Amino acid sequence: MTATEAIEALLKIRSEHGYMLDEATKDRAVQVVNELIDLDHWPPYTINGTSAYKMWEGYGVNWNHYAGPLQCKHCEADLCNREAGPPFKREIGVEENDRCVGFKCPECDEWLR
């Protein structure tokens, strides 16, 4: 199986079953994720120890790529977390009453959104 075929298989699993996978479908998804790891398309774990399967569950098939240039609109700092890798970003979550109300740039401390 090629990486493209494996990605298409995971997209099909997600479109047909959503997030509620039965045991057989989960086993198939794990098998496809392992094939992507064997093809060096995905790393087996992120730098913080999260498995490729868990990243696919949470972020989808493109979890290991940034969606485009991520820059602060104020100081143009690179917001991609180069140490942890995709999809993690360098931004500071601001909490209010135990709820995240926004994000700030780690370089200039301006609001990102």
pLDDT tens digits, one per residue of 10-67: 999 999 998 889 999 999 999 999 999 999 999 999 888 899 999 999 888 988 888 7
pLDDT at 66: 81
Helix (H) or strand (E) holding 57: helix 52-59
Residue 17 and residue 25 in contact, taking contact as beta carbons nearer than 8 Å:
yes
Asked if residue 81 has pLDDT above 90, the reply is no
Going by the DSSP 8-state scheme, the letter that residue 42 receives in this structure is S
pLDDT at 77: 93
pLDDT at 103: 92
pLDDT at 55: 92
How much is the pTM?
A: 0.69
pLDDT at 36: 94
Distance of CA 111 to the CA centre of its chain: 23
- Higher pLDDT residue, 94 or 84? 94
pLDDT at 39: 93
Residue 75 and residue 110 in contact, taking contact as beta carbons nearer than 8 Å:
yes
pLDDT at 19: 85
Q: Name the one residue in this structure whose structure tokens are 């094939």.
A: 35
Domain range summary for the chain, segments of one domain joined by +: 3-59, 67-113
